[in-house]
Amino acid sequence: MDFTIPDDLAEFRKVVRRFVDNELLPYEDHVEEHDGLPEEVERSIKKKAVEIGLNAIGMPEEVGGAGLDVLGQVLVTEELFRALGGLAEVVPTAPSILLACDDAQRERFLLPCVTGDKQWCFALTEPDTGSDAAGIKTRAERRDGSWVINGRKRFISHGDSADFAIVFAVTHPDREKDRITAFLVERGTPGFAVGQTHKTMGHRGYRQAELVFDDCVVPAENVLGEPGHGFDIAHGGLSSGRVMTAARCLGPMARLIDEGVEWAKQRVQFGRPIADYQAIQFMLADCATDLQAARMLTYSAAWAADQGEAAKIVSAKASVAKLFASEALGRVADRVLQIFGGTGYMNETYVERAYRNARIERIWEGTSEIQRIIIARNLLKRGMFA
């Protein structure tokens, strides 16, 4: 495996680091206190992100994206998520599923997401279905040439502010497969409403909302892909989503370790910096080991995807990376908070915020238990993957 970073990407990482330091970190206190940014600040951040080419980094260049390969996306994401998630998520993105848009849909949905002019949300999870995505109960029926959607979605990131939702609904309930269709449902469509906005444990500014569909009429031209094949076009993004979740864990780990090292050097107890004590040194060493292992697993999964390895192998490696990195972040946050002692328990510290934020990484994009199932099934069917 060759993880050599090209010169242009190394320079871009430096640009992203400056962007994070200058445009994101100064607003962390505001996001924590107000659960969001002023509209003018958010617009300014999006504009500057587009100016430096940080928007839609995984999208092909022909649609306005940066065209980075998966490993490149991982490296940039690692830098970006040194900032709190509620700020890093302000940077415009476009999900790979939107590449299934036809020409008209590209103009209305894909391209405005790439430029930051529109916000999307991914509406799959429901009150009774989380990990069991195939068990969704939202239905869509054909009526007079359109589709009528009924159901509820919850825990939808950006659901309260999105310009449109990518909604998954059962359209062919009598089939064993090819049952679910993806729809592009625009804000303001009659019968589509935002319900409860959930208060969460962490990630202030990255809000989760409930979406309600009550006889919501969606024109046939808003079907994404082919009817009944919603999961087909979504499935290709699952592995990359897990790899990017792992990448989002690397930035916080690195920042936590940096802060833990600095605190240990300056905090004096019993006449000596606590960095002199072996108990503290061991915690820092374990943190560094967790970060290095998480990086290598994440880079390896990304490299496998870029090399075109078999989808099942990439899926297994992505699950390993997501499982390890998300759990490693929890361990690192816990150790660094212990190093900080009572100070780390205070809300104004990054350590306390990172500790709260870390917990969701073991849940979304597939829980740790789901990742273990995927890994074990691959192991039992194919043996240990290379």
Domain extent, residue 139, equals 120-228
Is 1 inside any structural domain?
Answer: no
365 plus 246 within the same structural domain: yes
339 pLDDT above the threshold of 90:
yes
> Active-site residue numbers?
365
Mean pLDDT of 201-221: 95
From 56, 86, 114, the end of a domain falls on: 114
| pTM, entire model | 0.92
225 pLDDT tier (thresholds 50, 70, 90): very high
237 pLDDT above the threshold of 70:
no
pLDDT in tens, 248-268: 999 999 999 999 999 999 999
Mean pLDDT of 52-80: 94
Residue pair 141/183 in contact by the 8 Å Cβ criterion? no
In this structure, what CATH number is given to the domain that contains residue 324? 1.20.140.10
Question: From the centroid of its chain, how far is CA 286?
Answer: 26
pLDDT in tens, 91-124: 999 999 999 999 999 999 999 999 999 999 999 9
223 plus 304 within the same structural domain: no
38 pLDDT above the threshold of 90:
yes
133 plus 103 within the same structural domain: no
Question: From the centroid of its chain, how far is CA 196?
Answer: 21
142 plus 261 within the same structural domain: no
pLDDT in tens, 327-337: 999 999 999 99
**The two three-digit tokens of residue 242, written as one number:** 């897990």
Residue 236: the pLDDT is 61
Measure the CA–CA gap between 336 and 345, rounded to whole angstroms: 11
Mean pLDDT, all residues of the chain: 94
Residue 128: the pLDDT is 84
151 plus 69 within the same structural domain: no
From 82, 114, 146, the end of a domain falls on: 114
Residue pair 168/136 in contact by the 8 Å Cβ criterion? yes
- What secondary structure letter does DSSP report for 92? -
Is 2 inside any structural domain?
Answer: no
Beta strands in 126-206 (DSSP E): 139-143, 146-157, 164-170, 180-186, 192-198
DSSP 223-272: EESSTTBHHHHHHHHHHHHHHHHHHHHHHHHHHHHHHHHHHHHH-EETTE
253 plus 368 within the same structural domain: yes
